[in-house]
Amino acid sequence: MPDPAPPNPPRHIAVIMDGNGRWAQARGLPRLEGHRAGAESVRRIVELCSEFKIPHLTLYAFSTENWNRPRAEVEALMLLLERFLKERAKDLHKHKIRLHAIGQLERLPAGPAGELRRVMEATRLHAAGTLTLALSYGSRDEITAAVRRIAEEAVRGELRPEEITEDTVATHLQTAGLPEPDLLIRTSGEMRLSNFMLWQLSYAELYVTPCLWPDFGREEFMLALEEYGRRKRRFGGV
């Protein structure tokens, strides 16, 4: 029997997918096997969001700091990303989900970058939901770039300093057009944001679980939604 839909589900879930390496280490496996298992968890959560009609899902897939990992691991992750995009495009079409991406996408190798562009173009008209992959992404870099563009507009006389508002900043971020996340899920028990969507997560509810990302499935997802449903979102009010 399917799980009942939770009351007042979040409109936008963001996820810091953490614990792939520890999952593999605990099983005496190479780290890459943890990343492969983590890719299966991505498939599960995309399907769960579709099932419960949660229209926006953003996954922190690869940070700007991740480029500092050993070269062999980075290359393996890029190949895994390319294969994931090739294999999972059919799921996006099935659920009518649009693929979007944020980050320094120009830094991606030709293979995954080309596959990313192909899937984004192929799914651009889907309207049931949006899956956003944060790839080569760092929030401080994103905010800095937004401030730089705003300053350039001011120098050109297109914008006066007193006209700059929070909405001005938001529309210059890479997430412009997406609703801010209502719920942030972080796996593996770490209590930090790790330079992820620092502006956008200002009022998100936080759910941290010790569950490692490859083990994150329906049960953990339902626990997160249930916890979110118990929160009272006051946005600074009473």
DSSP state of 7: S
Active-site residue, 18 included? yes
What is the rounded distance in angstroms from the CA atom of residue 205 to the CA atom of residue 182?
6
Spatial CA neighbour of 49 closest among 102, 7, 118, 97: 97
Strand partners of residue 102: 134
Provide the 3-class DSSP secondary structure of residue 205: strand
Distance of CA 145 to the CA centre of its chain: 19
The 8-class DSSP code of residue 192 comes to -
Is 215 within 8 Å of 23 (Cβ atoms)? Answer: yes
User: How far is the C-alpha of 197 from the C-alpha of 137, rounded, in Å?
Assistant: 9
Q: Of the residues 66, 91, 141, 195, which is catalytic? A: 66
Active site residue 66: yes
Catalytic residue, from 3, 8, 18, 215: name it.
Answer: 18
Which residues, 6+ apart, have CB-to-CB distance to 151 below 8 Å?
none
- CA–chain centroid gap for 78, Å, is 17
Hey, which residues are catalytic here? Answer: 18, 66
